[in-house]
Amino acid sequence: MLRFAGLRILGAIPALFFVILVAFLMVRLAPGGPFDDERVLPPETARNLAAAYHLDEPLPRQFGRYVSGLLCGDLGPSYRYRDYGVSELIAGALPVSLQLGALALLLALLLGIGAGITAALTRNSLTDRVVTGLAMAGLSVPVFVVAPLAVLVFAVYLKWLPASFGADAGVWRYLLPVTTLALPQVGYIARLIRASLIEVLGSDYIRTARAQGLPRATIIRRHALKPALLPLVSYLGPAIAAVLTGAVVVESIFGIPGLGQLFLRGGLNRDYTLVLGIVVFYAALIVCLNLLVDLIYGALDPRIRRR
């Protein structure tokens, strides 16, 4: 198991380095600069600012300086939020995004697993067709379409739920953004569980269990459910990545002060270090979560470790 974990960690390091390199080049090569305002700065002031933030150095040297800072845990200073480092800004917005993402993923798992099991156990019935159709609808409609429609229907017309993320709205402020963020994942998880459980129920050992006279509920709970959930474990990494990237749109629409809104403001302000720091943080988080999923999958299925 330790060798398996070591190989996964060694494979994650080049992927993370490549993400950092591509993000650094894309941010640096974008038009404009962090100090380009409506008024033009005097040439001497612009040169002093560039020298203070090392923007006058060649790109390879800037990249080496940035990677050296990352190895020491330093994401650099923000160009727009004076007296704040990127790490401080991320630490302030992270709890809100983590709470939103965790609730959305939990809701997606509960609804998706339940819907997938129901569809698999009622295969080719009306219930199966309804669940499959709703899952396809959740997958097909993007988050940036669902979110404004949800606000228009439930907040503006029906006035059931708050449209913004104000503190005076209480726990109800989470309902629309969490549901919007979870819907695509509910559809995917439901289809994944349905297909996996149908395949498992056709296995030889399930037929043997039926021949021994075991009750259907016992067969599902003890023999079929665990192997049917294995594909879901491997999908958790991409699911978390999808929830994190979708949160950028959801947080912007609902006015949630999380990493997504911070990333958007950093992009509009051309705050190089802030945008790059959030991208690197997301990339590191996704790589670590995928590594954790691989280890869990390896623990559940010894064939993966041997392979």
In the chain, domain spans: 96-261
- Residue-level pLDDT at 106: 92
CATH number of 96-261: 1.10.3720.10
For the ranges 214-218, 289-293, 300-304, the lowest mean pLDDT is seen at 300-304
- Read off the pTM: 0.79
Contact criterion met (CB below 8 Å) for 251 and 261: yes
Q: Could you tell me if 11 and 3 are in contact, meaning their C-beta atoms sit under 8 angstroms apart?
A: no
**How many Å apart are CA 52 and CA 277, to the nearest integer?**
19
Question: Which residues contact residue 93 at a Cβ distance below 8 angstroms, ignoring those fewer than 6 apart?
Answer: 257, 258, 259, 261, 262
CB of 276 within 8 A of CB of 23? yes
Residues of the chain above pLDDT 90, percent: 5
CA distances, 299 to each of 2, 86, 207 (Å): 11, 37, 26
Strand, helix or coil for residue 160:
coil
pLDDT of residue 37: 61
Q: What is the mean pLDDT of residues 73-77?
A: 82
* Mean predicted lDDT score pLDDT of the chain: 81
pLDDT at residue 240, as a whole number: 79
Q: What is the pLDDT of residue 281?
A: 86
How far apart are alpha carbons 285 and 290 in whole angstroms? 9
3-state class percentages of the chain: helix first, strand second, coil last, to nearest 5: 80, 0, 20
> Does position 306 have pLDDT exceeding 60, yes or no?
no
Q: Which of 25-29, 93-97, 220-224 has the highest mean pLDDT?
A: 93-97
Tell me, what's the pLDDT at 109?
92
Lowest-confidence region among 47-51, 82-86, 150-154, 190-194: 47-51
The percentage of residues in the chain with a pLDDT greater than 70, rounded to a whole number, is 87
CB 196 within 8 A of CB 232: yes
Which has the minimum average pLDDT: 51-65, 158-172, 191-205, 241-255?
158-172
Give residue 299's pLDDT.
67
| 203-219 residues labelled b (16+ CB within 10 A) or e (exposed) | eeebeebeeeeeeeeeb
**What length does the chain have?**
307
Q: Is 151 exposed, middle or buried (0-12, 13-18, 19+ CB in 10 A)?
A: buried
Is 23's pLDDT higher than 80? yes
